Amino acid sequence: MRRTFAILAALLLPALSGRAACTNERFVVGEISEYKISWMKIPLAWSKTLTDEVEENGRKLIRIRTISKTYPAYRALYAVDDLRTVWIDPATALPVRQEVLLNEGKVHRNHVTTFDHAAGEAMFVDRVSGTTNRVAIPPDTREILSFLYASRNEDLKIFCAREHRLYSNGKVYPVKLFLRRRKKLKLPRYGKIKSVEIEPATEAEGLFNRTGRIFFWVSEPRRRMITCVRSKISLGWVDVRLQRVLGPGTDLWTREPDS
């Protein structure tokens, strides 16, 4: 269950909005996307992702924060209290820094990674163990959120045909993406949305569930919202479904349902 919540929290990102509201074609400032996480149709937790623009040492960066928490009624069953933050260079969509505060059941993590793409290395600091490691990174290495943003304008068929490398917990892993079927997924606020199913495969702990299969659906309409994530675990399925999108934009995601 812990690995499932880790990937679900990482995958729930905000989407691409209209060009007028974007820092560039990849990012939206002020967007919030909300998801509900259910196990065997029982709502266990919620996840929310927020995007804003910050300035550090005269440099403008995009900050993405993903918060995931168990609903109060189920905290005794499996407590989740996660905060994942990444700062991204909007010009390249490469991560500048990543911080992870993870509390899932008996597992607790607190680490920060600083990326130096020019030098080809990342500095991984584990605040729990007090250790620091230098990690060699290939060009264009990204963690999951910056990776998904960078793929926004790609042709999905071509994108999934390539092998990718993602950074997770102080290591770099190869990732393959398999393009599956198309399906209309019913969302509580938006009705049936045409979506494309993608199945990832990697050995990266904390990126994708290594004990079972995981699938996620990306909307065909503009923004390529992640509409649903399903993960097979030992005790059934965990389902994550988009609830609503807030912030700038006038498309189907942010306009009022009756408009």
**What is the helix (H) or strand (E) element at residue 50, kind and residue range?**
strand 42-56
pLDDT in the model for residue 85: 96
Token output for 51: 């995007």
**CA neighbours closer than 13 Å in the CB half-sphere of residue 68:** 30
Show me where the domains of the chain are located. Answer: 2-246
Per cent of the chain over pLDDT 90 is 44
Token look-up 């990937």 returns: 7
pLDDT in the model for residue 54: 95
The dihedral built from the CA positions of residue 147, 54, 49 and 188, taken in this order, carries a sign that is negative
DSSP E strand stretches across 118-235: 121-126, 131-136, 164-168, 171-187, 191-201, 214-219, 226-233
Q: What is the pLDDT of residues 18-53, one digit of tens each?
A: 333 334 456 778 889 999 999 888 999 999 999 999
pLDDT of residue 146 exceeding 90: no
Distances (CA, A) of 163 to 114, 141, 166, 204, 232: 24, 12, 10, 14, 23
